[in-house]
Chain A
């Protein structure tokens, strides 16, 4: 079997499995998986910048929130219906990630982390400042009537599951396509040795800019969908915690692997879910497991799988 066939079989297989699970999962896990797929889409976006381009951003909550508020504010205050609001959220992601990229990419390494973190904090504070419109920390509910996309009620669990799956499938396949495309391969080369890429005649700034806009836009699409599917927008989604989450998911799942973001999100979600069923000190269990993983699987779950068994894994 060629690498392309195996790649299609594996990733297609996962999507088919997720499709089939919809019919057998109990309601609780069914809801969880819908949420995981949306959050994994966010992680897929993060992975393009962190895993493939090698730029560690601590400010992705800004993009997630840009999507969420671009969607919800236009519904709430401008009376948009779901489809144009979703587009407004994605457009907000494009604009915000482009603006932040132009500023932050003047720096590198630790400075890049700090600049992205600071701008994301500024974004969070801006949401709180304009509490009159955003309702700040408290947030606001997006009514069922406002969550009709092309006549489909997204508050209904089955529809929500399929919407989440569509989003995740789009993001996963886009990321798979990207890294097999020359542009994506150049991003990987920038991660490995930026100076060398520059001396091969590539405009590395333009490539990093492109990576950050793609990454920010996918994150915004996830943010907008999250608000629309679960009917709520609040400032906590713009807080630093939501910048750290995708980093954690991607690290656990395997940075620079296409499946890693999903595996990491799934693992982390159920780790917290299961350990909180055992004890109230569930973060302690989660913490220990995370330490063990970092010690024994430093490349993340999918990364280790690639290093040990499936060398061809994209």
Chain B
């Protein structure tokens, strides 16, 4: 069964066709990577899926229900979680309060505390829970973003370039985290780091100039000539 589908999804900003006629299917439990060169329309596509950007045309289905008309906050309540590409934590609030804000959407009272500690522990930030988010290093802010996604216990976790700016050791931890989550949580991962994609994704979708260029297992994509051309140029 498909958790998420799009049909004919398009977005143009005045003359610029950012995303064009994308049919996309994500089955329950899969880890899907969404890759493509800069400006391929990845963030726009994901923005339309989670309701940040209104599509010019096309429809979005979650759990096989048409959610195209739903505002973002209602989509989140259906079980989506979105972590921002550009770190968007509440910098003047403590790390724990950042995660608690995400947790309080589904939990109340003492359960919030427990869930917050668990999520911070998962990303290795437990001992920094009282620090202001703005005082954390960039890499730690990225991890805090991920903890805010995890604590929502989403059915679909959308991660927009989560490893950008992380140190190698943190990337290793991140890969382990995704593997732990895989199976329970459906994950849509926008990622530039091919190493992360190869090691974590079940399937890969390649976007180029707003269109789906290829789809397949990481190995198939790795060997795909069109993908190589898109990334490296046909020179």
List the interface of chain A (C-beta within 8 A of B).
182, 185-186, 188-189, 192-193, 195-204
Contacts and interface: CB of A to CB of B under 8 A. Distances in A.
Interface residues on B, range: 20 to 34
B92 interface: yes
Interface string B112-147: 000000000000000000000000000000000000
B148 interface: yes
Contact of A201 (B76, B90, B93, B108): B76
Given A193-B88, A195-B88, A200 B52 contact: no
B101 interface: yes
A192 B92 contact: yes
A201 B88 contact: no
Nearest to B91: A192
Contacts of A185: 97, 100-101, 104
Contacts of B148: 200
B82 interface: yes
Nearest to B75: A201
Nearest to A192: B90
A198 B90 contact: no
25 contacts: A182-B104, A185-B100, A185-B101, A185-B104, A186-B101, A188-B93, A189-B93, A189-B101, A192-B91, A193-B88, A196-B88, A196-B90, A198-B72, A199-B50, A199-B52, A199-B73, A199-B76, A199-B82, A199-B84, A200-B76, A200-B101, A200-B105, A200-B152, A201-B73, A201-B76
A195 B104 CA distance: 17
B77 interface: yes
Contact of B152 (A201, A203, A204): A201
A185 to B, nearest CB: 7
A202 B105 contact: yes
B204 interface: no
A219 to B, nearest CB: 26
A196 B91 contact: no
Contacts of A196: 84, 88-90
Contacts of A203: 71, 73
B68 to A, nearest CB: 18
Interface string B74-102: 10110000101000111111000100111
A243 B102 CA distance: 35
Query: 9 tightest CB-CB pairs across the interface, nearest first?
Result: A201-B76, A192-B90, A201-B105, A196-B88, A201-B77, A200-B102, A201-B73, A203-B73, A189-B101
A168 to B, nearest CB: 28
Contacts of B82: 199
A142 B106 CA distance: 51
A202 B73 contact: yes
Interface string B197-228: 00000000000000000000000000000000
B44 to A, nearest CB: 15
Between A196, A197, A200, the greatest number of chain B beta carbons within 10 A of the residue's beta carbon is seen for: A200
Contacts of B93: 188-189, 192
B120 to A, nearest CB: 16
A193 B90 CA distance: 6
Contacts of A204: 73
A72 B187 CA distance: 61
A198 B88 contact: no
Contacts of B101: 185-186, 189, 197, 200
Nearest to B79: A201
Nearest to A186: B101
Given A189-B90, A192-B92, 20 more contacts: A182-B108, A185-B101, A185-B104, A186-B101, A186-B104, A188-B93, A192-B90, A193-B90, A196-B88, A196-B90, A199-B76, A199-B84, A200-B101, A201-B73, A201-B76, A201-B77, A201-B105, A202-B105, A203-B73, A204-B73
